[in-house]
């Protein structure tokens, strides 16, 4: 089963694109399904506009990634995917948007299939190794895990939406524009109430030198700020569920980034 909009007690649909022409259409639909996750793929940029997935914390399994290779979705022409040619012989990592560990749950067969399908290139975005593997991306990578550490969630279920933020001034490399901003939205329920926390990973573009991405910063934002930067509109229930203080809105550069996961008030 792909992303399930009824996974939580409150139904949460996937984002609605402002313009379907922005997306690659598979059999007439912008939604491309995999095991436990779905996504919309940018026709121009060849990276995911959004990826939505479900996590069942009570049914997670520990499966190795050893022996699993990144692969192109055979349903989609090679020219519409950012594949191996982008990542070979450079410092760019193949970064999962939907985390592999989040997807590996359910029956043994489900978990195995999700583990394998997490490596599809449509779920991958180019990230510097220092962010994808190192401490500079720590807050970003720990967001979902922090939920389980700090909250007694209803049924231990979480839904997540994340993806690339496409800016016109993103640097071009090997005929691809490399995104330097990403968003993540985390949905969970406490005592029957839906809550939403949303974040943007941002960088000071004025200090960037290509393939030397520095100062990764994670900011908490309102869902509407993500919508303003992207090509879609979230399900209205998300804005209603957001606990972000709208008085904190403003330019990301003027805000204090999150330095430690403990700074997030779940």
Average pLDDT over residues 177-185: 92
Per-residue CA distances from 76 to 43, 116, 206 (Å): 11, 17, 36
Which of 133, 131, 146 has its CA nearest to residue 182? 131
The highest-confidence range among 79-93, 110-124, 184-198, 242-256, by mean pLDDT, is: 110-124
How much is the pLDDT for 175? Answer: 92
| Cβ atoms of residues 139 and 258 within 8 Å | yes
The pLDDT tens digits of the residues spanning 78-119 come to 999 999 999 988 777 898 999 999 999 999 999 999 999 999
The pLDDT tens digits of the residues spanning 123-132 come to 999 876 555 5
Q: How confident is the model at residue 138 (pLDDT cuts 50, 70, 90)?
A: low
Which of 215, 218, 229, 222 has its CA nearest to residue 256? 218
Instruction: For the chain, give the mean pLDDT.
Output: 87
Q: Is the pLDDT of residue 211 over 50?
A: no
The pLDDT tens digits of the residues spanning 230-239 come to 989 999 999 9
Q: Is the pLDDT of residue 247 over 70?
A: no
Reported pTM: 0.91
Dist. CA 75–CA 207, nearest whole Å: 39
| Cβ atoms of residues 203 and 180 within 8 Å | yes
| Cβ atoms of residues 121 and 148 within 8 Å | no
How much is the pLDDT for 145? Answer: 77
Q: Is the pLDDT of residue 154 over 80?
A: no
How much is the pLDDT for 212? Answer: 46
């Amino acid at each position: 089963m792909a992303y399930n909009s009824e996974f939580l007690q409150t139904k949460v649909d996937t984002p609605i694109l402002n313009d379907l022409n922005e997306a690659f259409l598979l059999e007439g639909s912008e939604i491309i399904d995999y095991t436990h996750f779905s996504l919309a793929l940018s026709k121009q940029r060849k990276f995911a506009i959004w990826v939505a997935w479900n996590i069942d914390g009570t049914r997670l399994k520990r499966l190795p990634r050893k022996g699993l290779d990144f692969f192109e979705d055979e349903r989609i022409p090679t020219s519409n995917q950012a594949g191996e040619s982008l990542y070979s012989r450079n410092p760019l990592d193949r970064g999962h948007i939907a985390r592999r560990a989040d997807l590996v749950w359910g029956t043994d067969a489900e978990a195995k299939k999700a583990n394998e399908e997490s490596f599809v290139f449509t779920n991958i975005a180019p990230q510097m190794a220092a962010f994808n593997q190192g401490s500079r991306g720590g807050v970003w990578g720990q967001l979902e895990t922090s939920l389980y550490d700090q909250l007694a969630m209803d049924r231990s279920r979480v839904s997540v939406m994340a993806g690339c933020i496409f800016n016109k001034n993103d640097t071009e490399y090997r005929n691809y524009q490399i995104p330097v901003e990403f968003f993540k939205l985390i949905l969970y329920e406490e005592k029957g109430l839906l809550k939403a926390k949303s974040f943007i990973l941002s960088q000071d573009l004025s200090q960037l030198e290509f393939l030397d991405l520095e100062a990764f910063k994670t900011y908490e934002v309102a869902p509407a700020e993500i919508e303003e930067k992207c090509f879609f509109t979230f399900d209205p229930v998300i804005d209603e569920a957001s606990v972000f203080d709208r008085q904190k809105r403003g330019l990301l550069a003027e805000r204090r980034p999150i330095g430690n996961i403990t700074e997030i008030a779940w």
